[in-house]
């Protein structure tokens, strides 16, 4: 069976060291997993698998100390960080208490997850945004970073400002 490797894997440490030295801003868009079987013919991989892969990759950054080791670069995750905002606590809660602990508290793990920047294109709905806002730091939301391969009708749907949500309060601050 082929092995899936994400950019969060420890094999990529030399690349992240150089990106850190350059103070880079990195937009990460995962490729498809080794298993290319679709859940359903109408659900392409970017609709579902990429979201899981993004959450997996972000978690690898945290458990492999990539984000703790290199502090001078920024990572932008697609579609509100994939599954990360929804699934950070299942590993963050028990990891500090297991024999294979990574030497971080639950709070440390969650704080590292908060360092990511989150692109909200294709995910601008109240459920996703409210969940994301419980994790993202102020100024860590970006809009419009992932519309390249989207149909016009989909663009119109996702660019509507959800009722009751003021995106201006939460977008990336100018530096």
Q: Render pLDDT for 25-40 as a digit per residue (tens, 0 to 9).
A: 998 876 666 667 777 7
Across the range 129-141, mean pLDDT stands at: 87
CA distance 145 to 76: 9
Q: How many CB atoms within 10 Å of residue 173?
A: 7
Does a structural domain hold residue 10? no
The verdict on residue 7 lying in a domain is no
Given this model, what pLDDT does residue 110 score?
96
Q: Which residues contact 25 (CB under 8 A, 6 or more apart)?
A: 73, 74, 76
pLDDT at residue number 172: 43
| Residue 157 reports pLDDT greater than 70 | no
Q: How confident is the model at residue 80 (pLDDT cuts 50, 70, 90)?
A: confident
Q: CA 156 to CA 131: how far, in whole Å?
A: 22
Burial 48-84 (b: 16+ CB within 10 A, else e): ebbbebbbbbbbbbbbbebbbebeebebbbbbbbbbb
Domains in the chain, number: 1
- Supply the range of the domain harboring residue 147: 21-31+43-169
3-state secondary structure of 144: coil
What integer is the mean pLDDT of 97-120? 92
pLDDT value at residue 160: 64
4 in a structural domain: no
- Check which CATH number belongs to the domain holding 101 and give it: 3.20.20.140
95 inside domain = yes
- The confidence score (pLDDT) of residue 164 equals 56
In a domain, 38, yes or no: no
Give the C-alpha separation, 166 to 175, whole Å: 21
Average pLDDT value for the chain: 79
Do the domain assignments include residue 12?
no
pLDDT above 50: residue 2:
no
Q: Could you tell me if residue 157 is inside a domain? A: yes
- The H or E element that residue 28 is part of is strand 25-28
Any domain includes 59:
yes
């Amino acid at each position: 069976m082929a092995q899936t490797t994400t950019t969060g894997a420890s094999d990529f440490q030399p690349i992240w060291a150089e990106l850190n030295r350059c103070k880079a801003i990195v937009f990460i868009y995962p490729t498809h997993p080794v298993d290319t079987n679709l859940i359903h013919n109408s659900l392409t991989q970017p609709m579902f698998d990429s979201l899981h892969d993004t959450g997996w990759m972000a978690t690898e950054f945290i458990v492999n100390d990539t984000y703790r080791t290199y502090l001078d670069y920024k990572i932008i995750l697609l579609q509100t960080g994939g599954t990360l905002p929804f699934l950070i606590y299942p590993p963050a809660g028990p990891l500090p208490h297991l024999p294979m602990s990574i030497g971080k508290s639950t709070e440390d793990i969650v704080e590292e997850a908060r360092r990511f920047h989150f692109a909200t294109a294709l995910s601008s709905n109240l459920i996703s945004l409210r969940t994301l806002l419980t994790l993202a730091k102020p100024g860590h939301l970006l809009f419009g970073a992932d519309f390249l391969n989207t149909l016009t009708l989909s663009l119109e749907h996702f660019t509507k400002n959800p009722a009751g949500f003021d995106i201006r309060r939460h977008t990336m601050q100018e530096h």
